[in-house]
């Protein structure tokens, strides 16, 4: 048999521990400790990790299993300090996410993970940081935001941008209010449409980019949202002066295995599950705008 090729492990498990569930793909049952409804179609579950700590990188995801229904990739939107609680925020859009939405406190979810390459928190140290989320994209980005704010002195200027469809669709409102209240961070929020009671911005998130007073040579941007949002964000960040290798995006495709075997998440020469989901825009610029890839 051929030797393992070192470049095969270019995205190899960077965390100290292997994902749980391997070498077979066995989900570990975890009990729901708390469940919150975030918006009409989105909810958050807090899972009790049986053998803490659950070690992960911000931006990684788990495969969540609804018993008898199926597994879906869901980003880790939070983890408690001791690694004993795992937080997932899920939008009910189809078969499996709907089955997960029906579970309540003490319900059980199968978990395997964490998988993938996360946000560049190391590379961003000492630099200005733009963290931009659209819609449910705030969930995968929240661990990165929390890390940056918890280690605020390690970063330069911090700009957080968040766009939601309507004020009712905004996730983590209490936490967002805390972020907005900080004097060492610039947080801007916008919605696509709102009633007259909304006093904030209305319009697309990209209009917030220009006001980010960052040093483009020394800035890392982390962007998570629908592809169309990331498409426009890249254009606006480029206008601000950010080169593609300082812009990070998180990609989404169908995933059945999360370990590079089922082939579903292929994106040109990359597997989003193991080479991503976070890529520098540079890595995917050749194909990002190719239709139906």
List residues binding ligand SF4 (CB under 6 A).
263, 266
Provide the minimum distance between the beta carbon of 161 and another protein in the complex, in angstroms, as a whole number: 24
The residue (of 231 and 264) whose beta carbon lies closer to ligand SF4 is 264
Separation between Cα atoms, residue 260 and residue 226, nearest integer Å: 23
Would you state the torsion angle of the CA atoms of residues 54, 97, 65, 8, taken in this order, to the nearest 10 degrees?
-70
Q: Residue 257 interacts with ligand FES (CB under 6 A)?
A: yes
C-beta atoms surrounding 225 within 10 Å:
26
Separation between Cα atoms, residue 204 and residue 231, nearest integer Å: 12
Q: Residue 255 interacts with ligand FES (CB under 6 A)?
A: yes
Written as six digits, the tokens of 53 are: 């700590």
Q: Residue 260 interacts with ligand FES (CB under 6 A)?
A: yes
Provide the minimum distance between the beta carbon of 61 and ligand FAD in the complex, in angstroms, as a whole number: 4
Q: Where are the alpha helices (DSSP H) in 9-109?
A: 95-101
Closest CA to 50 of 115, 116, 108: 108
Separation between Cα atoms, residue 15 and residue 245, nearest integer Å: 23
The residue (of 266 and 280) whose beta carbon lies closer to ligand SF4 is 266
* HSE (side-chain half, CA atoms, 13 Å) at 240: 27
Q: Residue 257 interacts with another protein (CB under 8 A)?
A: yes
The residue (of 73 and 186) whose beta carbon lies closer to ligand FAD is 73
CB of 221 closer than 8 Å to CB of 235: no
Written as six digits, the tokens of 290 are: 């190719």
Applying CB under 6 A, among 271, 279, 281, 288 the residue interacting with ligand FES is 271
C-beta atoms surrounding 135 within 10 Å:
22
Q: Which does 152 bind (CB under 5 to 8 A by kind): ligand FAD, ligand SF4, ligand FES, none?
A: none
Applying CB under 6 A, among 70, 262, 270, 285 the residue interacting with ligand FES is 262
Q: Of residues 87-126, which lie at the interface with another protein (CB under 8 A)?
A: 93-94, 97, 106, 108, 110
Separation between Cα atoms, residue 34 and residue 166, nearest integer Å: 26
The residue (of 83 and 260) whose beta carbon lies closer to another protein is 260
CB of 191 closer than 8 Å to CB of 166: yes
Provide the minimum distance between the beta carbon of 165 and another protein in the complex, in angstroms, as a whole number: 15
Applying CB under 8 A, among 15, 17, 26, 34 the residue interacting with another protein is 26
The residue (of 240 and 262) whose beta carbon lies closer to ligand SF4 is 262
Closest CA to 266 of 284, 281, 247, 280: 284
Provide the minimum distance between the beta carbon of 15 and ligand FES in the complex, in angstroms, as a whole number: 18
Chain contacts with ligand FAD (rule: CB under 6 A): 61, 72-75, 77, 89-91, 93-98, 136, 139-140, 252, 254-255, 277
Q: For residue 108, report the phi and psi dihedrals to the nearest 5 degrees.
A: -115, 135
Applying CB under 6 A, among 34, 37, 193, 261 the residue interacting with ligand FES is 261
- Which among 40-48, 193-201, 216-224, 254-262 is the span making contact with another protein, rule CB under 8 A? 254-262
Residue whose Cβ sits closest to ligand FAD: 94
Phi-psi region of 152 (alpha: psi -120 to 50; beta: other; left: phi over 0): alpha
Q: Which does 11 bind (CB under 5 to 8 A by kind): another protein, ligand FES, ligand SF4, none?
A: another protein
């Amino acid at each position: 048999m051929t030797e393992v090729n070192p470049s095969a492990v270019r995205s190899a498990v960077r965390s100290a521990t292997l994902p749980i569930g391997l070498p077979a793909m066995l989900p570990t049952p975890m009990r729901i400790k708390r469940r919150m409804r975030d918006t009409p179609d989105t909810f958050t579950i807090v899972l009790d990790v049986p053998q803490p700590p659950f070690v992960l990188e911000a931006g990684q995801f788990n495969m969540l299993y609804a018993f008898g229904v199926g597994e879906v990739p869901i980003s880790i939107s939070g983890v408690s300090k001791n690694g004993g609680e795992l937080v997932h925020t899920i939008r009910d859009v189809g078969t499996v996410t709907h089955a997960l939405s029906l579970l309540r406190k003490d319900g059980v979810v199968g978990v395997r993970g964490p998988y993938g390459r996360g946000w560049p928190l190391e590379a961003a140290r000492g630099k200005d940081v733009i963290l931009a989320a659209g819609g449910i994209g705030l969930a995968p980005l929240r661990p990165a935001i929390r890390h940056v704010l918890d280690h605020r002195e390690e970063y330069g200027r911090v700009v957080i941008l968040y766009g939601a469809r309507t004020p009712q669709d905004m996730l983590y409102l209490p936490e967002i209010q805390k972020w907005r209240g900080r004097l060492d961070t610039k947080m801007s929020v916008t919605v696509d449409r709102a009633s007259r009671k909304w006093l904030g911005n209305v319009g697309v998130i990209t209009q917030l980019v220009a006001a980010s007073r960052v040093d483009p040579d020394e800035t890392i941007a982390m962007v998570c949202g629908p592809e169309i949002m990331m498409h426009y964000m890249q254009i606006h960040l480029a206008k601000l002066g950010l080169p593609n290798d300082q812009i990070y995006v998180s990609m989404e495709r169908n995933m059945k295995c999360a370990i590079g075997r089922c082939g579903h998440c292929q994106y040109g020469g990359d597997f989003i599950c193991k080479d991503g989901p976070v890529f520098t825009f540079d890595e995917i610029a050749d194909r990002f705008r190719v239709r139906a890839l």
